[in-house]
Structure 1
Amino acid sequence: MKKKERIMATKKQPIEKKFSKEILIEFYMDYVLEHEQMPKSVYKFTKEHKITEDQFYEYFGSFEGLRKGIWSQFYMNTMEVMHQSIEFETFTPREKLLTFYYTFFELLTANRSYVLLTLNENPNKLKNLEQLKELRKDIKVFAKELISEGNENKNNQILKQSEVVFSEASWIQFLFILKFWLDDNSAKFESTDIVIEKSVNTVFDLFDNTPLERVIDLGKFLWKEKMN
């Protein structure tokens, strides 16, 4: 499947334009990359960027909320890019998930310096994943939509799969691909592309023949092995 063009998490906009969430995210990401750490206070951060604290709190209640919002923005931008293609709605659930991963990781690659910094800042790796909480919700909703669509095309009730279990399996799969991408040293991250294709095809093949609980157990095992 042809990959989408790389896209930045936020589009560059002239500062004279109306202040927005996207501009705030851009300010924050630039700050983190330049200082290699989170800002110390909202007051100093907003003063440095010539905005008010009220403007900051209009979109986020804290830097932690902003960090989670960045990953949701990655997701929203990915969905926007995918739906720009009129062909996307004709894709099968398998093709839609492949398209999502290809597009999402192209976006992450465009913002790799920020992602690497924020996902490796704390020695406790699970602590670094807290910023993905909102993204987890987004991906699980998307996965539920995919399996619901797939179930509609199955006449045999036995072959239909649980939306809840499928969404959890998709999240575990995403974490596995993310960890692989973080460690990927191949040119243009081609190894990650291969992992995406093989993992999505394998999971969908397993879904047709294997209880999802066993798939999740396998996914958790692979994730723990990758984290060690």
Structure 2
Amino acid sequence: MAKKKEINKEGILSLYIDYFLEHNKQPQSVYLFAKHAGFEEGLFYKHYASFNQIEQNFFTSLFDNTLELLGNSEEFVSYDARTQLLSFYFTYFEMLTANRSFVVALLKEDKNKLKSLSKLSELRKNFKQFYDTLDIEKIDLKQEKLIEIQEKTMSEMAWFQFLFTLKFWIEDTSISFEKTDIFIEKSVNTSFDLMDTTPFKSLIDFGKFMWKERGSFKM
């Protein structure tokens, strides 16, 4: 009996991607997958609990690689929040493009959109944590509860924007996905323009002034 090969976490992921693209679906079982790939079934469970975990880990591993790459850039630290988010988008989607066949097959496998979104659940958590680290100017709401709601709302809206961008990229048929690049730049810039606190601060200051001076404006 031939001795089965040793394999690491990245190797299992690579073999899984190849299998998925060849068969356009998950293997029927871990046993059959390991047998097909030529390694011991037990090695699979040293790194993953299930095929679903592999799929989730694929997206988070690209996320980790993106942040590592950006973190190695001295310029990235000096960027403002808008430019940092743009840099993240361009880098992450470049990595997605390098694995486009697998990503598209993976996310279009299930007609149930909620099931497809479950493959992005870990990425959602990591993305929102990253977004919260960006130095985005917020309205000073004074009350802790309102500040907490504001932060949760902003990161959740940012995640929806990411999903919308992902959908655009999947359906993009332009050369080198240049339309997605344009979409990223315009959507991120628009979101930051909408979050510009200057008009809101002016409105709040004007409201405070009117409240203090309300006696002077009696008709």
Whole-angstrom CA distance in 2 between matches of 1:70 and 1:54: 20
Whole-angstrom CA distance in 2 between matches of 1:76 and 1:202: 26
Query: 1:66-77, aligned counterparts within 5 Å?
Result: 66-77=54-65
Residue 164 of structure 1 and its aligned partner are, at CA, apart by 1.8
Residue 55 of structure 1 and its aligned partner are, at CA, apart by 1.5
Whole-angstrom CA distance in 1 between matches of 2:123 and 2:85: 15
**Aligned-partner SS, 2:27:** coil
Equivalent residue in structure 2 for 1:172, among 153, 157, 160: 160
Other-structure match for 2:215: none
The TM-score normalised by the length of structure 2 is: 0.80
Whole-angstrom CA distance in 2 between matches of 1:150 and 1:183: 30
Other-structure match for 1:50: 38
Other-structure match for 2:208: none
Other-structure match for 1:226: none
Query: 1:1-228, aligned counterparts within 5 Å?
Result: 19-146=7-134, 149-151=135-137, 157=140, 162-209=150-197
Other-structure match for 2:204: none
Whole-angstrom CA distance in 1 between matches of 2:132 and 2:11: 31
Whole-angstrom CA distance in 1 between matches of 2:76 and 2:120: 26
Whole-angstrom CA distance in 2 between matches of 1:157 and 1:126: 35
Runs of 4+ with >6 A deviation = none
**Aligned-partner SS, 1:157:** coil
Q: Which amino acid in the other structure matches residue 160 of structure 2?
A: I
**Aligned-partner SS, 1:69:** helix
The TM-score normalised by the length of structure 1 is: 0.77
Where structure 1 has 5 or more consecutive residues not aligned to the other structure, the ranges are: 1-15, 212-228
Residue 139 of structure 1 and its aligned partner are, at CA, apart by 0.4
Residue 54 of structure 1 and its aligned partner are, at CA, apart by 2.2
**Aligned-partner SS, 1:87:** helix
**Aligned-partner SS, 2:74:** coil
Whole-angstrom CA distance in 1 between matches of 2:103 and 2:88: 18
Q: Which amino acid in the other structure matches residue 7 of structure 2?
A: F
Residue 158 of structure 1 and its aligned partner are, at CA, apart by 5.0
| Larger mean Cα displacement after TM superposition, 162-171 or 102-111 | 162-171
Deviations 1:93-141 (A, max 9, x none): 1111000000111111111100111111122223212100101001000
- Structure with larger Rg: 2
CA RMSD of aligned residues (A): 2.1
